[in-house]
Amino acid sequence: MINKIGQRLSMALVNQQKLSGFFEPLIQMFLSSYSANKHRAKVIRINDENKRVFTLVLKPSSQWKGFNAGQFIELIIEQNGVQMMRIFSISSAPCLFKSKGIIELSIQKQEKGRLTGWLHNTLNTGQLVNISAAKGDFTLEEGHQEPILLIAAGTGITPFRSILNQYKNTSNIHLIYYAKNSQHLFTQELKELEQQSSSTSVAFINSDESGRICQQHLEKYCPDFTERNHYICGPSEMIQTTQQLLLDNNIEDEHINFEYFGAKPISNVNIDTEGKVSFIKSALQVNSNNTNKQTLLELAESSDLKPMTGCRMGICHQCKCEKKQGVVYNTLTKVFSDTGAEEVQLCVSIPVGDVSINL
Amino acid sequence: MNISLNTQQYTELAQDLDAIRDHHLKDLGQIDSNYIRKIIRIQRSAEILGRIIMVLGFIHPLFWIVGVTLLSIAKILDNMEIGHNVLHGQYDWMNDDHINSRNYEWDIACDASSWKRVHNYEHHTYTNIIGKDRDFGYGLLRLSDDIPWRKKNLWQFITYFNLSALFEWGIAYHEMAGERVFIGKKKADRNQQISDKILKKKFFGKISRQVFKDYIFFPIIAGPMFLPVLIGNALANLVRNLWTSTIIFCGHFTEDVKTFSEKECENETRGQWYYRQMLGSSNLTGKRWFHIMTGHLSCQIEHHLFPDIPAHRYVEIAPKVQVIAEKYGIAYNTGSFFKQYYGVVRRVIQYSFPDKQKLKKA
């Protein structure tokens, strides 16, 4: 109620949803990176895990409300005038945040990616970045009893590092962890966890030698897997294969949880990629094909959606919509978009691979 | 007199202008975001200080005058250099919650989304096409012989003055008038995307918020200074109305600005579209502060060619466009404020009277 009155008053007096939105540019003169809608976090240090992965240690401001093991945050940082946003799972445990006030993000440097490599080179100790509140429901249920099986591949280990550290003394958790060329992250730490806690066990699998996940692996590395709750994190093919495998073993859908990791980096896509365009609000999906390339606007309209439109030539900006994820090609500026969330003009954007639009 | 170009020239014109556009779009970055943030900081400071200093008028009337001046400047900056340009999507690439065309709402009676529909779409796509661009004379003024003369045009200079003084209300009502929401016969080819109900809700919502702010809330919290603050706010709105309307009239209704017929513009190519934008606009020369206070609409030609390039770049782009105009023999209409404004006044008066050519023929 008070919120609503505050919002109406703010709209009337300063044409902003929040009064702080009006004062934001002035406050930023004294508090760098101040934001009316986001939290601030200070960079404590950067640890290199290996050549490609580094851990960013952050201390969020006191207003940040904490998180549950397995959740992610949005990291927002200005790069050449653009507010760049990326989603990262928190790889440290909530108990560490409670005791020391810090959180850790483990970030893989994407080859030719726009942001991750830059982050590693640019961020300095003491610098301020913006983060969102913790989000996501890839978490263990409150007061769960069942034993747990975690299946990770590559950097998909990050939410599980948090879960393992948080529940090492209270839950029966087994982890099967795949990595190419035995490039497992946090090997030392995970081995120590295994030694400290009788209820935690880890199987490291070199996927170059043993291949991808299969029935034999499950039976060999976790004989009682049918009696466990399952959590899967890794590349999308790995998630799909594992999910199907578990379903084939008569494990109920509700006991299978999974978390997809971001869209493909721009370097991996080209304009000829076919894909699925998802319109989130209207729960519709259409296929975009190569032979007859269509703009997002045409695709939306062909599925009987009626987004706000105007000039249909990229001038009036009325058809702008939030793209949640995926890459689009702007026919006007001839540039590929970023992979994360941002506003796109539907009438001049061609989807490149899978794209989800908030429409 | 302008001669039309041939097909080859239109293609080359489009290539030349696209090259400028591509260069600047590629170059967008920290300079632009720093610039708009700086202008926003100046605007916010001017507004806050203006509203406070105005109340100090009880100490000395000079405070009141300074306060009103600051508030007028704040409103002009908000409407012109920030609001108008942000709503064109010039800064959308910044991905900033507060500085983008979807969320920005400005300190003026006109609802931002209505403005985007009528101004960004209709006016910028169909610039100066008689019958399609309702901004040409706003349905009130006859500024070309293509529009039939009516008796009311005789006193249209007074209409023009009234429109200027009440400009923000004029543009707030502009879409409602065009869609015949309250009065008049509905047109067959109406924009069906928005119902009258939503139009009305948005219209009344925005104007009541603006009235509440300037004529109820701030006067009341000023206590004994109620009346001076009320008058001061009204004056700041009036100054902004006169300034914006004058600048906008200088951008499209100077003496030599051309108009077009719907038929001429059928199946228009990009080159022809650029050509029409150049002939349908006129520029003003002036100092840096002057350009900023006009929201760079002093570079109306460049704005119409590149409506989504950050406006502070127009000053740098203008000489290049002028060279291109010369190359193709296209008139480039520019001049000092007083020269151009004199042209506007002449045009308003000239078309108050019936077309002499037609009269003779008849």
Split into its structural domains, chain B has a count of 3
The sign of the CA dihedral B281, B284, B285, B288 is: negative
Mean pLDDT of A100-111: 93
Residue B134 contacts A, CB cutoff 8 Å? no
Which of B87, B107, B127 is at the close of a domain?
B107
State the pLDDT confidence band at A273, using cuts at 50, 70 and 90.
Answer: low
What pLDDT does residue A267 have?
A: 39
Mean pLDDT of A222-239: 90
| Distance from C-alpha of A358 to C-alpha of B6, rounded to nearest angstrom | 44
A81 and B29 within 8 Å at the Cβ level: the answer is yes
What pLDDT does residue B316 have?
A: 97
Residue B33 contacts A, CB cutoff 8 Å? yes
What's the domain range around B90?
30-107
What pLDDT does residue B188 have?
A: 66
Same domain, B118 and B249: yes
Pinpoint the residues of chain A covered by CATH 2.40.30.10. 38-137
What pLDDT does residue A264 have?
A: 41
List of chain A residues whose C-beta atoms are within 8 Å of the C-beta of residue B96? 83
Same domain, B116 and B101: no
Residue B24 contacts A, CB cutoff 8 Å? no
Which of B222, B240, B261 is at the close of a domain?
B261
Q: Which one of A317, A323, A330 makes the best mutation probe of the B interface by having the most chain B beta carbons within 10 Å? A: A317
Query: What does the pLDDT look like over A159-175, one tens digit per residue?
Result: 999 999 999 988 999 99
What pLDDT does residue B362 have?
A: 58
State the pLDDT confidence band at B234, using cuts at 50, 70 and 90.
Answer: very high
Quick one: tokens of A272? 């000829």
Q: Please check the confidence at residue A310 and state whether its pLDDT lies above 80.
A: no
What pLDDT does residue B65 have?
A: 98
Q: What are phi and psi of A92, to 5 degrees?
A: -95, 170
Same domain, B305 and B281: yes
For residue B206, the chain A residue with the least C-alpha distance is A12
List of chain A residues whose C-beta atoms are within 8 Å of the C-beta of residue B124? 311, 315-316
What pLDDT does residue B246 have?
A: 97
Fold held by A38-137 = Elongation Factor Tu (Ef-tu); domain 3 (2.40.30)
What pLDDT does residue B356 have?
A: 73
What pLDDT does residue A92 have?
A: 97
Which has the closest alpha carbon to A307: A326, A281, A286, A269?
A281
Q: CB–CB of A104/A92 below 8 Å?
A: yes
Residue A358 contacts B, CB cutoff 8 Å? no
Residue B353 counted as domain residue: no
Mean pLDDT of A319-335: 86
State the pLDDT confidence band at B321, using cuts at 50, 70 and 90.
Answer: very high
Mean pLDDT of B209-216: 97
Residue B303 contacts A, CB cutoff 8 Å? no
Burial class (CB in 10 A: 0-12, 13-18, 19+), B60: exposed
Q: Please check the confidence at residue B192 and state whether its pLDDT lies above 60.
A: no
What pLDDT does residue A268 have?
A: 41
Highest mean pLDDT out of A41-45, A291-295, B172-176, B183-187: A41-45
If you classify domain A266-357 with CATH, what class do you get? alpha beta
Same domain, B85 and B117: no
Residue A104 half-sphere exposure toward CB, CA atoms < 13 A: 22
Which has the closest alpha carbon to B69: B41, B40, B49, B83?
B49
Same domain, B287 and B226: no
Q: What share of chain B is helix, strand, coil (3-state, %, to 5)?
A: 70, 0, 30
Residue B358 contacts A, CB cutoff 8 Å? no
ipTM higher than threshold 0.90: no
Q: What are phi and psi of A184, to 5 degrees?
A: -70, 140
Look up tokens 């002499």; give the residue: B356
- Other residues' Cβ atoms within 10 Å of the Cβ of residue B188: 5
Which has the closest alpha carbon to A150: A89, A100, A73, A208?
A89
Query: What does the pLDDT look like over A29-57, one tens digit per residue?
Result: 999 899 998 999 999 999 999 999 999 99
| Distance from C-alpha of B84 to C-alpha of A334, rounded to nearest angstrom | 25
Residue B343 counted as domain residue: no
Pinpoint the residues of chain A covered by CATH 3.40.50.80. 148-260
| Distance from C-alpha of A176 to C-alpha of A219, rounded to nearest angstrom | 12
Q: Please check the confidence at residue A269 and state whether its pLDDT lies above 70.
A: no
Residue B357 contacts A, CB cutoff 8 Å? no
For residue B33, the chain A residue with the least C-alpha distance is A81
Query: What does the pLDDT look like over B12-67, one tens digit per residue?
Result: 999 999 999 999 999 999 999 999 999 999 999 999 999 999 999 999 999 999 99
Same domain, B82 and B135: no
Same domain, B87 and B180: no
Pinpoint the residues of chain A covered by CATH 3.10.20.30. 266-357
What pLDDT does residue A119 have?
A: 94
| Distance from C-alpha of A222 to C-alpha of A219, rounded to nearest angstrom | 6
Mean pLDDT of A197-206: 94
| Distance from C-alpha of B145 to C-alpha of B358, rounded to nearest angstrom | 9
Residue B204 counted as domain residue: yes
Which of B60, B82, B107 is at the close of a domain?
B107
pTM equals: 0.87
B44 and A316 within 8 Å at the Cβ level: the answer is no
Q: Please check the confidence at residue B361 and state whether its pLDDT lies above 80.
A: no
Within 8 A by CB and 6+ apart from B197, the residues are none
DSSP per-residue string spanning B283-340: EE---HHHHHHTTTGGGHHHHHH-TTS-GGGHHHHHHHHHHHHHHHT----EE-HHHH
Same domain, B131 and B221: yes
Mean pLDDT of B331-350: 95
State the pLDDT confidence band at A104, using cuts at 50, 70 and 90.
Answer: very high
Q: Which residue has the higher pLDDT, B219 or A294?
A: B219
Mean pLDDT of A271-286: 82
CATH classification for the domain delimited by A148-260, as one of 3.40.50.300, 3.40.50.80, 3.40.50.360, 3.40.50.720:
3.40.50.80
Same domain, B137 and B256: yes
Residue A163 half-sphere exposure toward CB, CA atoms < 13 A: 31
> Measured between CB atoms, which of B40, B94, B105 is closest to A83?
B94
A-B contacts at Cβ under 8 angstroms? 104
What pLDDT does residue A220 have?
A: 94
What pLDDT does residue B194 have?
A: 74
Within 8 A by CB and 6+ apart from B310, the residues are B28, B32, B35, B36, B85, B90, B91
Residue B286 counted as domain residue: yes
Q: Give how far Cα B118 sits from Cα of A18, A23, B113, B183, B311, Å.
A: 27, 30, 9, 18, 20
State the pLDDT confidence band at A266, using cuts at 50, 70 and 90.
Answer: very low
B120 and A23 within 8 Å at the Cβ level: the answer is no
Distance from CA of A88 to the nearest CA of B (A): 19
Residue A249 contacts B, CB cutoff 8 Å? no
Same domain, B248 and B313: no
- Other residues' Cβ atoms within 10 Å of the Cβ of residue A358: 13
List of chain A residues whose C-beta atoms are within 8 Å of the C-beta of residue B308? 314-315, 317
Q: What percentage of chain B carries pLDDT values higher than 70?
A: 96
List of chain A residues whose C-beta atoms are within 8 Å of the C-beta of residue B97? 21, 36-37
Residue B349 counted as domain residue: no
| Distance from C-alpha of B280 to C-alpha of B253, rounded to nearest angstrom | 9
Q: At A324, which helix (H) or strand (E)?
A: strand A320-330
DSSP per-residue string spanning B12-35: HHHHHHHHHHHHHHHH-SHHHHHH
